[in-house]
Amino acid sequence: MPLYSKCIEPKENTTQPCVVFLHGLLGSIGDWEKIASAIAKTHPVLLIDLPGHGHSRLINVSESHGFEQTCRLIVEQLESSPYQEFIFVGYSLGGRIAMYLNACVELQSNISLRGLCIEGGNFGLLSKEEKQARLNNDIRWAERFEQQPIADVLDDWYQQKVFSSLNPEQRQVLVAKRSDNLGKSIGMMLRSTSLAKQPYLLEALHRSTIPMLYICGEADNKFQHLAEQSQLTYQIIAQAGHNAHVEQPERFTHVLNTFLQQWK
């Protein structure tokens, strides 16, 4: 079964690369539609629902090969599109998957990856201790999503430190919005694409020759630190936390449009 995707073509013909948007855990293509509509004025756009999410919620990937299988499914969508050149824009989990695909040249097949924009994506963990602690944490969350009412789990999920910039009203909006997910599908993706199972990808980013931009929110201290230490080009979005493209869509769109101008 193919992943669900939605293509938005500019009103005028263009030779620009297609911009592919990949959402984060618990998200869907709907998270990007406002920004994607603005980008589609100059670039073709492809929005993809990741396995276990949105209209792809019944598509599973294995616990042992989650990243590779997810990337193969994405490549199948790209190959079935009318475009050959692509720029990835990925948030959090979507950013980690985009970085993984960039590192695995053999998975890129007949597509041409021309650029990479990562928002709040973790490059990976280095020590066995960090990986084991993260795996244990992700499994605990996965079990909760699989076994408990999803709204109850989300109430606690958005209390995590990475979401500390959210106010109570913003948290409740996200809980309501994300409650249409299937708990078992979210648990599956947490297990399959745990940060503990991801290779450390920063070195592959340094070796890559394509243009890259890392984006993080002003109040997202953890990922701002990662950006500063990464030696990658990065941009900070004012008055935003971990989910900058949702909290400040106009500012995010401006930064992304500026990055995309080099292909004009």
Q: Residue 105: pLDDT above 80? A: no
Long-range contacts of 213-216 (CB under 8 A, 24+ apart): 213/116, 213/117, 213/118, 213/255, 213/259, 214/117, 214/118, 214/119, 214/121, 215/117, 215/118, 215/119, 215/120, 215/244, 215/252, 215/255, 215/256, 216/119, 216/120, 216/242, 216/244
> Per-domain residue ranges for the chain?
5-124+199-263
pLDDT digits (tens, 9 = 90+) for 208-221: 999 999 999 999 99
Q: What per-residue confidence (pLDDT) applies to 90?
A: 98
Segments in 148-182 forming alpha helices (H): 150-157, 168-178
> Radius of gyration (Cα) for the chain, nearest Å?
17
Q: What per-residue confidence (pLDDT) applies to 13?
A: 77
pLDDT digits (tens, 9 = 90+) for 110-142: 789 999 999 999 999 999 999 999 999 999 999
- CATH no. of 5-124+199-263: 3.40.50.1820
Q: What is the maximal distance between C-alpha atoms in the chain?
A: 52
CA–CA separation, 234 and 142 (whole Å): 31
